[in-house]
Structures are given as C-alpha cells and as structure tokens.
Chain A
Amino acid sequence: MLTTDRYAAVMPLLSARALRKSYFKARLEIPVLKHVDLDVFPGELISIVGQSGSGKSTLLHLLATLDRPDGGEIRFEGNRIDNLAPAGRDILRNRYFGMVFQFYHLLPELTTLENVLMPVMIGRGVLSYYASRRRYVARAKELLELVGLSHRLKHRPRELSGGEMQRAAIARAIIAEPKLLLADEPTGNLDRGTGEEILELLRNLNARHNLTIIMVTHDNAIAAEADRTVRLFEGRVEVPVAMAVDAA
C-alpha cells in the first residue's frame, strides 16, 4: 500500500482510517464520528481535544477495541484490529493496551496492590500466576513506588484520594508493559494541582519509558502539554490550514 511504503521507516503504532460511528436514539441515527483519520507513532504523546459531544471518548473506545466502528478500519502495528474476534480483542487489551479512566475505575473489593495486579491475574492462568506471584507482586510494588503510592498497598480504593486512585489506575495500566496507554480524561475529575501531578507522571512515563500515550481531554491547557494535539469537531478531525494545503 502506498501509505505503508511511504512511512516504512516509521510505521504508525496505531492508525485509524475513515472511522465512522453512530448511535441510535429512538430509531434516529446520531452520527458521532463521521470520518476520522489518525496516525499515532511510537513514542508519541498525543492529546485528543474537543467539546463534549464531539466524539473524543467514542474515538478512544474504538481505538481501545472496547467498541466496534460502523465503518473504516483500525490498524495496530500494521494489523487490522477493528474486526478481531472477541478473544483477540481481550488479549490485545490485556497485553498491548493500558487504560486510564476519568473515574479511575478501580475495583472496590480489592486492595490497591490487588487492583494493580489485576491485568496480570487476568492474563495468566491460576497456576502460572501462582508460580511466579512473587515476581508479579514485586513488580506491582515497584510500580506503586514509581507512582508514589508505596504507603497505600493494603488500602481499599474508597480510602484513597482522587489523585491516589488515579495513580493506582496508572500503575495498573502499565503493569502488563503495554505498548500504548489510552487515557480518557485522566485529570477530568481532579483539581488543578493534582491534575498537574498526574500529567507530570504521564509525561515521565512517555519520556523515560518511551510509552506511547493517547490522552483525551477537553482542557486546552492540558492538551498543550502533549507532543501533538488532534482536534475533533463534529465528528471529524479539524485539519490545520497549512496541513490541509499540504495534503491537497
């Protein structure tokens, strides 16, 4: 393919072509994403911004294979993933993608440590997990240390503050050593200062561990911290004038 040949040197980690997605409300089709093209290159920190209702969360869900697009295709490392069977998506989400949500989404019954270990537990069988559980626990503790939560290992999520919960969620997202971190409004529920800390943490991960991050936000100030910003407007990517000319 033409595109692949042209960027053969730097193949996008994740690329979306002509993505479409609509919702139905009382039999009325409401298009959310009309035509979205996106390339994410390894090591990038991209922010996707747009007003609420512009479809940015929907786009993230499609990229994370949590939902299926109505049209278009998504490729991860050159392979199509939008039409994968459920089992394939489960593996992809477990091993290659990490996810961080606005409302942290920790499991309330488990301790911080157990929450962080969850992707490993899901990915391994009982025996293989049990056999190397010390290694995994050590790794989880290391990550919690990295996000600054080593004093909260045995606490339940409801005993943590918002910032702490988000840190735990980030630790959970990276324990399986994913290639791509998808963050849906990671600072949306936090005050400015805590939000800055979380952002700092994500930038650190991006810079030091070369983790590719796609971050959805409605806050322009936060979006500005990213390497590149993709603006969504009414279901399309807003193309900067210069690039539009270039493409033409």
Chain B
Amino acid sequence: MYKYLLCLRYLRTRYIALASIISVMLGVATMIVVNAVMAGFINETQVRIQGFISDLVVESHSLDGFMAPEWHMDQIRRVAGDDVVGMTATVQVPGMLIFSVNGKDGAESITRQVNVVGIDDATYASVSDFGKYLQHPANRERLSFDLRENGYDARDQQVENGEERKELAFAGWEYRRRKEAQAARLRREAHTPLDSVPPETPQAEASRIPDNLLAEESGAAAGSPSAPTLDELVEDGGGHNPFQGRRWQPSEGEASVFDPAKQQHPGLVMGIALPSYRHRDADGKVQTGFLLRPGDDVQLMLPSAGNNPKGVRGYFTVVDFYDSKMFEYDSSVVFVPMSQLQELRGMFDRATGTTYVSAIRIKTRPGVDLVALRDKLRAAKVVSDDPRAADAPLFPPTVFSVSTWRDKQGPLLAAVEMEKATLNLLLFLIIAVAGFGILATFFMIVVEKTRDIGILKSLGATFWGVMGIFLSYGLSLGCVGAGFGLGLGLLFVRYINEIRQFVESRTGREVFDPTIYYFYDIPTIVDPLTVAYVVAGAMGIAVLASVLPALRAAMLRPVDALRA
C-alpha cells in the first residue's frame, strides 16, 4: 500500500523526473506518427499496385503471348474453383507514344516510351478497380473507349479540394470539333496568300494544333500509311482475320475520308503523367498543365508479333486519363482495347482465328491465400478428355510465370518495409537513450531519498517493498510518458495535414511536395497493435531503467541510510 502512496506522492512532487520522461513521450509520439505515415504509404501503394496488377497474374514470357485465353481461363477455373471471382485477359507490350505539341518552332513531335496494355473493357473491371482512377464520371461507372461529349472533371476528384485541371474542362467531342474547325480554317488559310495569315495565333487552342500531325492524319485516312497495316499483310497471306470489320471502315454511302470532327480512332486511356507537366505558378502553387486532352489523337508504334518483329503503328484517340497517383504507372501506362492491339500486332492465328494474349489476370475471393493459390496453379495439370493433352503441366515454367501482385512489386514493398523497420529501430534507440535519462534521474532521487529509505526500513519495509516503490514509480512515469506520447502522436496523426499546411504557410516551403509524391494528403493508418507495442516498449524501458536505482535503494543498509 505504502509503495503506491509514496510512488504517487513522488510523482506529484518530483518534477525533475517528469522532465526526464519528456524524451520518452517524444519518442513514443514520433514512433506512432512515423508508423502511421509509413503504414499509410504502404497501404496506398499496395492498393494501387493491386488495383493495377490484380491479385494473381499468369503471364507468358514472350511478347507474343500465348493462345487460347478462354481455354486457359476455363482450366484455371477448374483448378481454383470458387476462389476466383474475376478473370480477364490482357496484352502487354512496350511501345512508343507519339504526339505533337506546339513547340518553339511550331509543332513538335514528342515520343515517349510507354507500356501499352490491351484490355477487354467488358471484363477488365472485374479484376481491377482501374475505373475509379479515370477522369470522366461516366467512365468511372463503366469504361467506354468511345470519346465522351464533355464533362471531364476540371478538378482532381480523388482528393478533397484537389488541384484544378482547367484543360479538362474543355475536352471530349466538344473540344475535338472546335479543334478540327480551327485546323480546317488554318488549312484553308495556308492556301491563301501568305500576307493574310497572322504570324501568331493568339488563341491557345489554335496554336496547339500540330500541322504535321493533322497532315499525317488526313494522309493516313486517305489510305496511304507510311507503315504497312496488318490488314494488308493478312490479305497477302490469305486466311481469316478475326478482327475484320471491327475497325473503322468507310461504310456504304459514307464519305471514305476520315473526318476528325465526326469520327474517332480507337479509344486510348493514358496515364495522366504522360501528357501532363507540373510547374509552380507565380504564387508558388503547384499547377498541372496538359499537353493533350481527351479528344486529341496520338500514334502508337508497336512491335508486331512473330519471330521477325516489325514496327507497326496505329492511330488512337485519347478518351480519358488514368490517375492512380502512383507515378510509376501514371507515367508509363497506356490502355487500349485489347482487340485493337491484337489486330495491330497480329496476335491471332490466321488458320484457326484464335487469339493470343500476354497475360490472364485473376481476382480472387477476399481472404484467399494468394501464395497457396499461386503454387497450386504452378503445379496444376491440364484437365482434358483427350488423353494426349491431359496430365501435361498447365503452366509450364518455361513458357509461363504465375505470380501474385506482391511478387511483382516485391522489391518496392520490401524496400518500404525495410525503411519502416530501420526507422523503428532508430526511434526505439531514442527511447532507449531516454531510458538512460530516467536511470540518471532515478539515481539522483534515490540518493536524495536515502534517509527516507532508511526510515521505511526501520519501520519494517522489506527489500521488495522498497524495490517496489521505485519500480512502480518507474512504471508510472513510463505510463505518464507513454500516455502523453500516445495522445500527442495520435493528435499529430489526426491533424497531420493541417499541421503540414500550417508549416507550409509559415515557412513557405513545401513539406510534402505533390510534384514528388503524387499524393496530395499524407496518408496515415494507425495500427492499434503497433501502437500497443510502442507504448508497452516505452513503459518496459522506463521500468528497466528504474531497476538499477531501485536495487540500490533496496540494498541500502538501514543504519547507513539513516545516517545519511
């Protein structure tokens, strides 16, 4: 009883000890904040990676892919059963994105290396939450590769009070028609005497129109492409093209000239960082400028399939932007309809009409052990009535790789996890250092209280009784320190974005630069278990630090203590 009474009194009268646990408090608060922010980062990243890759991927090693995706999906269903909730085939291929912008000397062609992903717009949504990162509300509901009239978000809708994207306010068919009208006017003026053309068009829209692109477009539409299209190649070899008739073809009675004001090329969704650039305006605010907007046309240059790849190219119309906030994807990925890609690259068998795909993406039921399912798929055998096909490995490792999303992004996640572990270790060392502060303060208190310890012993206090006073004192100091640290840390996490804004407004320095992180708010997740570990660790250190002084107090000989 007296232990707790004295411990309580010491707690209330020895402010020096409270000062010594401020470092414990700060250590605990920092650890909570760091863990919450790191967990937030990891979670955001994981969600985006998983959203892009889906849960499991069966890929072919070859750019040419493998054939008969439907048969493979059927086999996967037989192996995995109910664990699979969605499946889609995709085609991935590196390519070159070519588009024109207005440069220093008029139109300038920009070429970028991209990863072209062909997706099946009907089933892709079943494995990926790709849709929610798009900029048109209707596309977020259901993706369509047809250009929308207008209505793209003029403001980043994924974050509260997101940045303004004024170019997107005027996009879609509305923009395409106006652009085409101006291009037509420019073309007309090009045929009139030179002196009637103003040297610079003040209007941004007009100056953005690249003449050479338009010229090429009209040339391509007129039927004289610079690279051979696959239709020609296919027709040469005879056989059957399963995509025949799917592309835009001049139908009966329609003008055989492609009219950009009324017609579009196949749709294309590109990562938002590809056509955009970030800069600071005069007020120092981060602004995003767009070189392209939905309604513009671009070219894709791709290697054709087969063992003698050639460059093939096709025109596409940008229909939306993909903004996952994950720079790696936003700056490299271009989505196009899978059938277009297969046709362009010749990923089909002329004799049978079966198609080739590069990967099958699988979404699993929540809670499924992905690693186990992956291993099951790796070991699976073909199920077939035909004895010649049965029992062969379904996905021989020489041709296929089966991986979970975690396998695909392992190094990144491992790096972040390691960073988190290192930070935790360092911060825990800080708390340990604080422990030595407690140790020193406690020794001081024991020396100061030597006579009181003697009195207690003369009244019959035992070794463990005296020990208990200082151990419980240490524990209660640890509780106070960890408690305040917990409160401070949680408050900090709760208001971290307000604090960031305040610091930014005071210092004028960007603390969390969205041009680097592509997040507008600092994401945080407070994991109760981690918080519990941190608090328990801090209290443990406080108790450990008080063991030595407590031992010293408990081992004092009563006479010596009384004489002090």
Which residues of A pack against B, CB within 8 Å?
Answer: 61, 64, 66-67, 86-87, 90-95, 99, 101, 105-110, 114, 118-119, 121-126, 129-130, 172
Contact with A along B449-493 (1 / 0, CB 8 A): 001101111111111010000000000000000000000000000
Most interface-central of A67, A90, A108 (chain B CB within 10 A)? A90
Residues of B within 8 A of A108 (CB): 452
Contact of B460 (CB < 8 Å), options: A105, A123, A130 = A123
Residues of A within 8 A of B459 (CB): 93-94, 99, 118-119, 122, 172
User: In the complex, what's the smallest C-beta–C-beta distance from B410 to chain A, in angstroms?
Assistant: 54
Give Cα A91–Cα B459 distance, bound, in whole angstroms. 9
Contact B460 A90 (CB under 8 A): yes
Contact A95 B559 (CB under 8 A): no
Residues of A within 8 A of B452 (CB): 107-108
Contact A66 B460 (CB under 8 A): no
Q: Does B562 contact A (CB under 8 A)?
A: yes
User: In the complex, what's the smallest C-beta–C-beta distance from A185 to chain B, in angstroms?
Assistant: 13
Give Cα A119–Cα B457 distance, bound, in whole angstroms. 10
Residues of B within 8 A of A94 (CB): 459-460
Give Cα A100–Cα B1 distance, bound, in whole angstroms. 22
Given that A66-B558, A107-B452, A109-B6 are contacting pairs, would A121 and B462 also be in contact in the complex, using a CB cutoff of 8 Å? no
Contact A67 B2 (CB under 8 A): no
Contact of A64 (CB < 8 Å), options: B451, B458, B463, B465 = B458
Q: Does B247 contact A (CB under 8 A)?
A: no
Give Cα A129–Cα B452 distance, bound, in whole angstroms. 22
Give Cα A66–Cα B556 distance, bound, in whole angstroms. 11
Q: Does B4 contact A (CB under 8 A)?
A: yes
CB nearest neighbor in A for B8: A109
Contact of A125 (CB < 8 Å), options: B1, B5, B557 = B1
Which residues of B pack against A, CB within 8 Å?
Answer: 1-2, 4-6, 9-10, 13, 451-452, 454-463, 465, 557-559, 562
User: In the complex, what's the smallest C-beta–C-beta distance from A90 to chain B, in angstroms?
Assistant: 5
- New A-B pairs, 12, CB < 8 Å, besides A99-B458, A110-B9: A61-B559, A67-B559, A86-B462, A87-B462, A90-B460, A93-B459, A94-B459, A105-B458, A107-B452, A110-B6, A122-B2, A122-B465
Residues of A within 8 A of B455 (CB): 105-107
Contact A121 B2 (CB under 8 A): yes
Contact of B5 (CB < 8 Å), options: A86, A90, A110, A123 = A110
Contact A119 B13 (CB under 8 A): no
Contact B2 A118 (CB under 8 A): yes
Residues of B within 8 A of A114 (CB): 5
Give Cα A106–Cα B455 distance, bound, in whole angstroms. 8
CB nearest neighbor in A for B2: A121
Give Cα A137–Cα B180 distance, bound, in whole angstroms. 98
Give Cα A118–Cα B469 distance, bound, in whole angstroms. 14
- Which 10 A-B pairs rank lowest in CB-CB distance, beginning with the nearest? A94-B460, A109-B9, A121-B2, A93-B460, A121-B1, A66-B558, A67-B559, A129-B1, A105-B455, A90-B462
Residues of B within 8 A of A172 (CB): 459
Given that A66-B562, A109-B9 are contacting pairs, would A124 and B1 also be in contact in the complex, using a CB cutoff of 8 Å? yes
Residues of A within 8 A of B557 (CB): 67
Given that A93-B460, A95-B460, A123-B460 are contacting pairs, would A130 and B558 also be in contact in the complex, using a CB cutoff of 8 Å? no
Give Cα A108–Cα B465 distance, bound, in whole angstroms. 19
Give Cα A178–Cα B96 distance, bound, in whole angstroms. 98
Give Cα A106–Cα B459 distance, bound, in whole angstroms. 11
- A sample of 20 inter-chain contacts (CB < 8 A) reads A64-B458, A66-B558, A86-B462, A86-B463, A90-B457, A93-B457, A93-B460, A94-B459, A99-B458, A105-B454, A109-B6, A110-B9, A114-B5, A118-B2, A119-B459, A122-B2, A122-B459, A122-B460, A122-B465, A172-B459
Residues of B within 8 A of A86 (CB): 462-463
Residues of A within 8 A of B558 (CB): 66-67
CB nearest neighbor in A for B559: A67
Residues of A within 8 A of B463 (CB): 86
Give Cα A145–Cα B457 distance, bound, in whole angstroms. 26
Give Cα A114–Cα B8 distance, bound, in whole angstroms. 13
Given that A86-B462, A107-B452 are contacting pairs, would A66 and B5 also be in contact in the complex, using a CB cutoff of 8 Å? no
Given that A121-B2, A125-B1 are contacting pairs, would A109 and B460 also be in contact in the complex, using a CB cutoff of 8 Å? no
Given that A67-B557, A118-B2, A124-B1 are contacting pairs, would A109 and B461 also be in contact in the complex, using a CB cutoff of 8 Å? no
Contact A66 B6 (CB under 8 A): no
Give Cα A28–Cα B458 distance, bound, in whole angstroms. 28
Give Cα A172–Cα B460 distance, bound, in whole angstroms. 12
User: In the complex, what's the smallest C-beta–C-beta distance from A73 to chain B, in angstroms?
Assistant: 19
User: In the complex, what's the smallest C-beta–C-beta distance from B527 to chain A, in angstroms?
Assistant: 36
Given that A105-B455, A109-B10, A110-B5 are contacting pairs, would A122 and B562 also be in contact in the complex, using a CB cutoff of 8 Å? no
CB nearest neighbor in B for A94: B460
Given that A66-B559, A67-B559, A110-B5 are contacting pairs, would A122 and B458 also be in contact in the complex, using a CB cutoff of 8 Å? no
Residues of A within 8 A of B1 (CB): 121, 124-126, 129-130
Most interface-central of B454, B459, B461 (chain A CB within 10 A)? B459
CB nearest neighbor in B for A95: B460
Contact of A101 (CB < 8 Å), options: B10, B457, B462, B562 = B562
CB nearest neighbor in B for A104: B455
User: In the complex, what's the smallest C-beta–C-beta distance from B120 to chain A, in angstroms?
Assistant: 71
User: In the complex, what's the smallest C-beta–C-beta distance from A57 to chain B, in angstroms?
Assistant: 9
CB nearest neighbor in B for A92: B460
Given that A64-B458, A67-B557, A109-B13 are contacting pairs, would A121 and B5 also be in contact in the complex, using a CB cutoff of 8 Å? yes
Give Cα A124–Cα B1 distance, bound, in whole angstroms. 8
Contact of B456 (CB < 8 Å), options: A92, A122, A125 = A122
Contact of A126 (CB < 8 Å), options: B4, B6, B562 = B4
Residues of B within 8 A of A93 (CB): 457-460
Most interface-central of B1, B10, B557 (chain A CB within 10 A)? B1
Contact A66 B462 (CB under 8 A): no
User: In the complex, what's the smallest C-beta–C-beta distance from B92 to chain A, in angstroms?
Assistant: 70
